[in-house]
Amino acid sequence: MIDLGDRATVKFLDSGCALLVCTVSADGQPHAGRAWGLSVVDVDAHLLRLLVEADDAVTVANVRAGRAIAVTATSVRTFHSLQLKGRALSLEELTPADEAKQAQYTSDFLKDILDTSKYAPDVMCRWAERPVTPCFVTVDVSFDQTPGPSAGATIDRGDP
Amino acid sequence: MSDDRSIGLRDLRRCFDGRIPAVVATASAGGVPNITHISLVHEVDSERVALSNQFMSKTSRNVVENPQASVLLVDPVSGSEYRLTIRYERTDRRGPVFERLRDDVDKVAAFSGMQDVFRLRSADIFRVETIEVVRDHDVPAARVSRQQTVGLAACAELAARMSRSVDLGAMVDVALDGLDQLLGYRHSSMMLLDEQGERLFTLASHGFAAEGVGSEIAIGDGIPGAAAQTCRPVRVGALNQLRRYSAAVRRSFEREGAIGPGQDIPLPALDDAESRLAVPAMVKGELVGVLVVESPLVAAFDDEDEAVLSMVAALIAQMAQLERAELDASATAPVEPPAARVDVAHEVKVRFYPEDGSVFLDGDYLIRGVAGRVLWSLVSRHRATGQCEFANKELRLDKALELPGFRDNLDTRLVLLKRRLEERQSPIRIERTGRGRFRMDVTGTLSLETQG
């Protein structure tokens, strides 16, 4: 299991990397979604606070049901990628801190995109306008998801 | 966010061009989720998509256990986002779908010199069950294609101008100028296949800061090399993203020890190039060269551009073939060496390295390989006998040039040499004087030196 207290790991997860979320329904149907901010809340408990899309009904329902969840964080600039797998714990009320987190995350994410590409800024900005709802997630296992032959390798410890 | 039956895969076409990476989510039979960006999602038909598999990934293993998957796609023009619920049907390891995906994987490999390790293993085919509109945004004014803007008349005018060219060099100049003036392709280059069929060398370019005549690239390397290798057009619409993605994959391979650290293929000549299209120039089913266009705009080229440029490339290839045939059939009459036109006031120092055919003029590198050996042969004859009129045929008999017996490409090497001499504003110039004949003029007195 990756060290969530490691400075480089925290910095990476706190950056403007793309955040992807997969939850699984009771019938085994996987569901792809996005998140718009992630914070390491408790290193020892491997606890994350994740801002999932509030209008993504399937993700919200799966989180509410405490189902399995995977979160992949990918650097827009380098494609370096880390996948964390565990279980959703609970939906939470949106706080001012969450709103600030989302604003900072979205700003960093869009900056990375616009610095490295020629997408129309207005198109990217409206794409990134999402209502969010926070949830807690516990992480059981982590994987290197960077494209290449090592993609999917389990991470025991060390930097992302 | 229910299934919107009014949306079909055809409506999502822009989402499949790879500009914004797609996302695929799967789950194992035990319900363990997995989510990752995926480099390629292709539309197979109106009901199916294909996902590329280069690494026998968790995604591929999961769908064998649990055929259900979920995909996110973003329209790079409107910012609209779609979620596809898909079901795994089969895996292709050959066939048209596999070939299409392999072309795109080869692009990534060619970009970072990973052709030996980064290969498509299979194409996983999925049936699309639902398409959900996650975010719906208006599309800006529809893009107007280049051909709609300039019209077929401009294409015909370019073909007419090219057909009036007297030789390959002139035709290439007319083609590249015309592509700019008539069709709006501001940045272009023409590369020709070398004698061994192993490398492409730049014969001419247009719209770049540096002309780059004589620069070379191996078959398979870069976008032009990939087009030459497959003899099919290769198009990239987001070079910056491709470069970063291929660099990430390469670093991963290096960490695994599969390949050693190496130089990336040099970036396109445009510093800010985002789009590059390379089309093979073919005649009688054989590769002659590659025509390349670039643009600083994302996704600047489409199928219509491929069609137009393929037509132009074919005309160039036919001229190359025609010249070759003419030279082969040209008379072998001995050439009378007329008096050389020499300006004796200036000494022109020519240094030759037989090992690789490199030639330096007045201390500066000029050219190497066959073209270098040709120049050395010419200046040696000129120095010894004052000869300044030459026939291609006599050069072909010069064993020191190490020309292959079949398809020696001498004509195009002479064009390359001529251009290189002009580009460097050299005191040595060569001019075509007739079918299979040319003249060399030297402004100064030659001083020859062989090294090594």
Residues in a beta bridge with A33: A21
Distance from CA of A5 to the nearest CA of B (A): 23
Q: What is the pLDDT of residues B34-78, one digit of tens each?
A: 999 887 788 999 999 999 887 757 888 999 999 999 999 998 888
Tell me how long chain A is: 160
Torsion angle of the four alpha carbons B47, B52, B58, B64, in this order, in degrees rounded to the nearest 10: 40
Choose the closest CB to A80 out of B39, B69, B248.
Answer: B248
Q: What is the pLDDT of residue B56?
A: 58
Q: What is the pLDDT of residues B161-191, one digit of tens each?
A: 999 988 888 899 999 999 999 999 999 999 9
Mean pLDDT over all residues of chain B? 82
Q: What is the pLDDT of residue A97?
A: 97
Encode burial over B216-255: b for 16+ CB neighbours within 10 A, e otherwise. Answer: ebbbbbbbbbbbbbbebbbbbbbbbbbbbbbebbbbbbee
- Chain B partners of A72 at a C-beta cutoff of 8 Å? 35-37
Q: Say which residue the tokens 């003036």 belong to.
A: B181
B238 to chain A: closest CA residue: A117
Choose the closest CB to A79 out of B20, B245, B256.
Answer: B245
Report the relative pairing of strands A30-42 and B428-434 from DSSP bridges: unpaired
Q: Is B81 on the interface with A (CB under 8 A)?
A: yes
CB B206 within 8 A of CB B176: yes
Choose the closest CB to B256 out of A85, A124, A149.
Answer: A149
- Chain B partners of A68 at a C-beta cutoff of 8 Å? 27, 31-33
Q: SS3 letters for chain A?
A: CCCCCCHHHHHHHCCCCEEEEEEECCCCCEEEEEEEEEEEEECCCCEEEEEEECCCHHHHHHHHCCCEEEEEEECCCCCCEEEEEEEEEEECCCCHHHHHHHHHHHHHHHHHHHHHCCCCHHHHHHHCCCCEEEEEEEEEEEEECCCCCCCCEECCCCCC
Q: What is the pLDDT of residue B187?
A: 94
Q: What is the pLDDT of residues B420-434, one digit of tens each?
A: 888 888 889 988 887
Distance from CA of B159 to the nearest CA of A (A): 34
Residue B33: name the closest of A156, A50, A72 by CA: A72
| Percent of chain A's residues with pLDDT above 70 | 96
- Chain A partners of B76 at a C-beta cutoff of 8 Å? 119, 123
Inter-chain residue contact A146 with B244, CB threshold 8 Å: no
B245 to chain A: closest CA residue: A79
Look at A110 and B14; give whichever has higher pLDDT: A110
Residue A88: name the closest of A134, A40, A156 by CA: A134
Inter-chain residue contact B241 with A116, CB threshold 8 Å: yes
* Average pLDDT of the segment spanning B428-448: 86
CB A16 within 8 A of CB A1: no
- Chain A partners of B250 at a C-beta cutoff of 8 Å? 148
Distance from CA of B136 to the nearest CA of A (A): 9
At residue B451 the predicted structure's pLDDT band, cuts being 50, 70 and 90, is: confident
At residue B367 the predicted structure's pLDDT band, cuts being 50, 70 and 90, is: confident
Q: What is the pLDDT of residue B269?
A: 62
Look at A120 and A129; give whichever has higher pLDDT: A129
Q: What is the pLDDT of residue B259?
A: 57
B239 to chain A: closest CA residue: A117
Q: What is the pLDDT of residues B278-321, one digit of tens each?
A: 999 999 889 999 999 999 887 788 888 999 999 999 999 999 88
Whether the pLDDT of residue A39 is over 70: the answer is yes
Distance from CA of A27 to the nearest CA of B (A): 9
Q: What is the pLDDT of residues B129-153, one digit of tens each?
A: 999 999 888 765 544 455 556 678 8
Max mean pLDDT range (A114-118, B262-266, B365-369, B374-378) = B374-378
Choose the closest CB to A147 out of B66, B69, B245.
Answer: B245
Choose the closest CB to B27 out of A28, A74, A77.
Answer: A28
Distance from CA of B142 to the nearest CA of A (A): 15
* Average pLDDT of the segment spanning B380-401: 83
Q: Which of B35, B130, B270 to mutate to test the interface with A (most CBs of A within 10 A)?
A: B35
pTM of the entire structure? 0.68
- Chain A partners of B299 at a C-beta cutoff of 8 Å? none
Look at B161 and B267; give whichever has higher pLDDT: B161
* Average pLDDT of the segment spanning B431-451: 85
Distance from CA of B275 to the nearest CA of A (A): 11
Q: What is the pLDDT of residues B69-126, one digit of tens each?
A: 999 999 888 889 999 999 999 999 999 888 888 877 777 777 666 666 667 888 999 9
Choose the closest CB to B23 out of A32, A67, A85.
Answer: A32
Whether the pLDDT of residue B370 is over 70: the answer is yes
B24 to chain A: closest CA residue: A32
CB B26 within 8 A of CB B59: yes
Which residues in B93-121 belong to E strands, given as ranges?
none
DSSP designation for B11: G
Look at B23 and A152; give whichever has higher pLDDT: B23
End-to-end CA distance of chain A: 11
Whether the pLDDT of residue A55 is over 90: the answer is yes
Q: What is the pLDDT of residue B316?
A: 94
The interface pTM score, or ipTM, of the predicted complex is 0.94
* Average pLDDT of the segment spanning B322-326: 77
DSSP designation for B21: -
Q: What is the pLDDT of residue A160?
A: 41
Q: What is the pLDDT of residues B400-411, one digit of tens each?
A: 777 766 566 777
Whether the pLDDT of residue A88 is over 70: the answer is yes
Whether the pLDDT of residue B24 is over 70: the answer is yes
Choose the closest CB to A30 out of B68, B81, B298.
Answer: B68
